[in-house]
Amino acid sequence: MAQRETWATRVGFILAAVGSAVGLGNIWRFPYMTAENGGAAFVVVYLLAAGLIGLPAMLAEFTIGRKAKKNVFDAFSSIGFPAWRIVGLLGLVTGFWILSYYSVVGGWVIQYLLGSFTGTYFGDPGTFFGDISTGPTTVAYHAVFMLITVGIVALGVKDGIEAATKAMVPSIVVILVGLAVWGVTLPGGAEGLAYFLSPDIDALLSNLDTIIPFAVGQAFFSLSLGMGVMITYASYIGEDDNLAVDAGSIVVLNTAIGVLAGLVVFPLLFAQNVDPGEAGAGAVFVSMATAFGELPAGELIGAVFFGVVLVAALSSAISLLEVVVSYTIDNYDVSRVSVSVAVGAIIFLLGIPSALSLDTFGLYDEIANSLLLPTGVTLIVTFVGWVYGRDAVAELRQGTGGFGSFASTWLWHVRVVVLTAVVGTLVLSVSELLGISLFG
């Protein structure tokens, strides 16, 4: 079997992980979650969740992946705990599951990008979303998105994923900064900023029971945690870097890009008098399209905006596909190219129901975020905290150059604080999924 691949550079690894993290979760999901959960108050809880729960949980995945140098399934046996491969199996299933509908949204984005050039959605953005979001054409664009994703992953870790994300992540940042600067200068833009940035503390305190699980869940989704993307990506690290510095950079960059996306979306919505509270999956698409339809040079701005959304979505989709591809080529003597194509084809088929019905699509998204990812994170955190334990600390210490004393504190933080938060989130989100209210 061929030698296992590694990243060419440390920056390449960090950018690939940021590319995975920055995606539809930041530009599409985060604004509508914020709008549905009371604006800036949600942002505050989200920032805390990303730093206090997301960052240590990412380190947990890194310590598994770098030590094992294996895919998400075999990583657990490689470090001595074969029974825990069940968590890896869940990760593989979740990868298939999420990418199947994520790619459908990717297809919507391509249609919006094309529609921007011609101004097709300008007349009636609501109807446009209805037309493009389900049906045979949606299936076709879902196929196009999957094909591009397969193409990048087929090129390999270095020449595909690393090369692509090295170009993609910096362009995402530059373009979003440009759009944000332009957005706040629009009339009404300042109100959008205020809505996004000044929290209503009373609203926050009275809705903590819904805000916390949504914010923690959003942090997991946005940081690509809970299904082994970060285990897989860390398994390609060649030398022992300081994982804490890497994870810290990734979390800061991802959060900053999420906030940047909010700075683009909210001023634009307020400038067009669009109510961000009327949210839902289609909301950001419809309302951004409405905004572009009414702005001077809307074709150009729309194309730039949907172009950046597409790049962000692709750099995340490749990480989802890589989890499954990595498992297959670690275990079978098959070429990366044929595995990428075969797995991509299966995921494409799995996504067809979501491309035909928005209800099915919503159900897939809800099951992923309320059940699969919280279960995955809970199991990974339990494993690292209470089973892998001291060995995880030793792994985290590697590469810290004598500054590794934080590692034991990290372990206790994972054992107590992170575990409590993830179990709480799991319970609240599963009961939410089943329609049970735990609080009156």
List of residues contacting ligand TRP (CB under 6 A):
20-21, 23-26, 98, 221-222, 224, 226-227, 229, 316, 319-320, 373
The gap between the terminal CA atoms of the chain, to the nearest Å, is 58
What's CA 364's distance to the chain center, in Å?
A: 15
Smallest gap from Cβ 436 to ligand TRP, in A, equals 25
Q: Rg (Cα) of the chain, in Å, rounded? A: 21
- Shortest spacing between CB 27 and ligand TRP, in angstroms: 8
**Rounded Cα–Cα distance for residues 168 and 8 (Å):** 17
Q: What is the dihedral of CA 391, 397, 399, 401, to 10 degrees?
A: -150
CB of 251 to ligand TRP, least distance (A): 12
Q: What's the closest the beta carbon of residue 61 comes to ligand TRP, in angstroms?
A: 10
The owner of tokens 């591009």 is 148
Q: How far apart are CA 157 and CA 152, in angstroms?
A: 9
CA 223 from centroid of its chain's CA atoms: 5
**Residue placing its CB nearer to ligand TRP in the complex, 249 or 398:** 249
Position with the least CB separation from ligand TRP: 25
> Measured from the CB of residue 229, what is the shortest distance to ligand TRP in angstroms?
4
By beta-carbon proximity to ligand TRP, the closer residue of 115 and 226 is: 226
- Nearest approach, Cβ of 223 to ligand TRP (angstroms)? 6
The DSSP 8-state label assigned to residue 228 in this structure reads: S
Nearer to ligand TRP, 70 or 397 (CB): 70
Q: Give 130 or 362: the residue with its C-beta nearer to ligand TRP.
A: 362
Instruction: For residues 96 and 127, give the distance between their C-alpha atoms in angstroms, rounded to a whole number.
Output: 30
Would the CA dihedral through 432, 434, 439, 440 be positive or negative? positive
Burial of 225 (0-12, 13-18, 19+ CB in 10 A): buried
Using the minimum distance from each CB to ligand TRP, give the nearer residue, 270 or 306: 306
**Please, which residue, 79 or 318, has the CB nearer to ligand TRP?**
318
Nearer Cβ to ligand TRP (323/411): 323
Q: Give min distance, CB of 369 to ligand TRP, in A.
A: 8
- What is the four-CA torsion angle of 98, 103, 106, 110, rounded to 10 degrees? 180
Please give the structure tokens belonging to residue 13: 């690894």
